[in-house]
Copies of this chain bind each other. A is one copy, B any other.
Amino acid sequence: MSLIVQKYGGSSVGSVARIHAVAEQIAKLAGQGNQVAVVVSAMGDTTDRLVELAREIAPDPDLREMDALLATGEMVSTALLAMALRRLGLKARSWNAMQLPIETTSHAGRARIARIDARQLKQDLESGIVPIVAGFQGRAANGDLTTIGRGGSDTTAVALAVVLEADECQILTDVDGVYTTDPRMVPEARRLDRVSFEEMLELAGQGSRVLHLRCVEFAARYGMKLRVLSSVEPGSGTLICQEDRKVEAPVVSGIAFNRDEAAITVARVPHHPGVAHAILKPISRAAIDVDMIVVNAPREERVDFSYTVHRDDYEKALELTRSATADYPGATVEGDDRVAKLSVVGSGMRTHAGVATQLFETLAMESINVRLVSTSEIKISVLVSEKDLERAVRALHRAYGLERAPSS
């Protein structure tokens, strides 16, 4: 008998029919003798609709009230799923964040889970009851309802799995696992049976939409096995867990990409301490997230400084950087919001040379210009023109032989 925490996203519970299907899936798992606790998101586009309603009431709605409003979405789906399970003859019970409670910090809209009181959930599991927990929400110390940010239900599920000491945390979604790259772009893309936390972190951070970065970080920190599964089709999905040191890791596990990038380059700024700070400070003050930062080697006491931001923030960032560098004579600011980032990820890079060489060779063969490069221990990211992205991903998928399962 295993103890499994399952999380179903908004599209998985988006209609009465889908809720019944989810109930059947839970009943099957429980029928196999497992203890099951479930975390659910709000139905379909409920959260978006509530946000829209709030914006109609006030252009800049109060954050505490926004959280109180949004938390209702998950309460609705927990109650409905519990009803659907009871209809199948299972014992089930809905739980919201105030009832357990799930305690969080008090940062409305982006709270962090501080503590989960799982006593009532443990009692449920011991009594053969399937507890259905509202994801995404929490309770601050002062009693306010909070939410933990978009995609927060994944994090709720992992936190719950850790507290319950579950054997596995399953994230059920509309894809059947983690792929070597997006199968919509590369038909030969292959589902990975297993991927390490580190690889998944890089994939999630680099634009793979399967799991949220925060949920993977959380699972990695506590060594909680994560499994990505389809909520529609049967299958074993992809297991995300600690790297197995006994097996040689594949050199490259997957290719992630992100089309929403925009790049800004300040050319020929003085090469002295404080310049990077002078450029980035107004950006962070404007609450704009910076992704890649690349500084080239200085020449003649001058240096080129580049960074990327989300495409929505491009105009604002460009304007701020122009002001920030107006005092540097000779410096020029240029930008491009038609760029995309591509990242090759693999734990095997640590011990295998030549991954970067192969990358540049492949892109050169395709006559694709690389605009920026940044690397981490198990990842190489390059910025290319958006029009070249698809060709680049396909060529690299082939070059690294990702369509074939590793012989190990």
The answer to whether A79 and B86 touch across the interface, beta carbons within 8 angstroms, is: no
Comparing A3-11, A90-98, A183-191, the segment that makes contact with chain B is A90-98
Instruction: Annotate A95-106 by CB proximity to B: 1 below 8 A, 0 otherwise.
Output: 010110000000
Q: Find A58's partner among B58, B69, B86 (CB 8 Å cutoff).
A: B86
Q: Does A294 contact B (CB under 8 A)?
A: no
The smallest C-beta distance from A306 to any residue of chain B, in angstroms, reads 41
The smallest C-beta distance from A178 to any residue of chain B, in angstroms, reads 32
Cα distance A66–B56 in the bound complex, in angstroms: 29
The answer to whether A94 and B80 touch across the interface, beta carbons within 8 angstroms, is: no
Comparing A70-78, A166-174, A281-289, A314-322, the segment that makes contact with chain B is A70-78
Interface size class, chain A: 35 or more
The answer to whether B65 and A83 touch across the interface, beta carbons within 8 angstroms, is: yes
Residue numbers in B under 8 Å from A86 (CB-CB): 58, 61-62, 65
Residue numbers in B under 8 Å from A359 (CB-CB): none
Q: Does A16 contact B (CB under 8 A)?
A: yes
Q: Does A303 contact B (CB under 8 A)?
A: no
Q: Does A310 contact B (CB under 8 A)?
A: no
Cα distance A53–B80 in the bound complex, in angstroms: 8
Residue numbers in B under 8 Å from A61 (CB-CB): 83, 86
Residue numbers in B under 8 Å from A204 (CB-CB): none
Q: Find A83's partner among B54, B71, B78, B145 (CB 8 Å cutoff).
A: B54
The answer to whether A54 and B80 touch across the interface, beta carbons within 8 angstroms, is: yes
Residues of A165-220 at the interface with B, using a CB-CB cut-off of 8 Å, are: none
The answer to whether A57 and B19 touch across the interface, beta carbons within 8 angstroms, is: yes
Residue numbers in B under 8 Å from A71 (CB-CB): 75
The answer to whether B68 and A78 touch across the interface, beta carbons within 8 angstroms, is: yes
Cα distance A343–B115 in the bound complex, in angstroms: 59
Cα distance A80–B49 in the bound complex, in angstroms: 13
Could you say how many copies of this chain the assembly holds? 2
Cα distance A54–B79 in the bound complex, in angstroms: 9
Nearest B residue to A67 via CB reads B79
Q: Find A50's partner among B76, B87, B94 (CB 8 Å cutoff).
A: B76
Cα distance A357–B72 in the bound complex, in angstroms: 57
Residue numbers in B under 8 Å from A255 (CB-CB): none
The answer to whether A96 and B68 touch across the interface, beta carbons within 8 angstroms, is: yes
Residue numbers in B under 8 Å from A57 (CB-CB): 16, 19-20, 80, 83-84, 87
The smallest C-beta distance from A165 to any residue of chain B, in angstroms, reads 23
Residue numbers in B under 8 Å from A394 (CB-CB): none
The answer to whether A94 and B72 touch across the interface, beta carbons within 8 angstroms, is: no
Residue numbers in B under 8 Å from A298 (CB-CB): none
The answer to whether B76 and A72 touch across the interface, beta carbons within 8 angstroms, is: yes
Residues of A1-28 at the interface with B, using a CB-CB cut-off of 8 Å, are: 16, 19-20
Residue numbers in B under 8 Å from A69 (CB-CB): 75-76, 79-80, 83
Nearest B residue to A143 via CB reads B99
Cα distance A93–B71 in the bound complex, in angstroms: 16
The smallest C-beta distance from A17 to any residue of chain B, in angstroms, reads 9
The smallest C-beta distance from A96 to any residue of chain B, in angstroms, reads 7
Cα distance A54–B87 in the bound complex, in angstroms: 11
Nearest B residue to A15 via CB reads B56
Cα distance A58–B54 in the bound complex, in angstroms: 31
25 A-B pairs with C-beta separation under 8 A: A16-B57, A20-B57, A50-B76, A53-B80, A57-B84, A58-B87, A62-B82, A62-B83, A62-B86, A65-B79, A65-B82, A68-B78, A68-B79, A68-B82, A68-B96, A69-B75, A69-B76, A69-B80, A69-B83, A71-B75, A72-B72, A72-B76, A75-B75, A99-B144, A120-B143
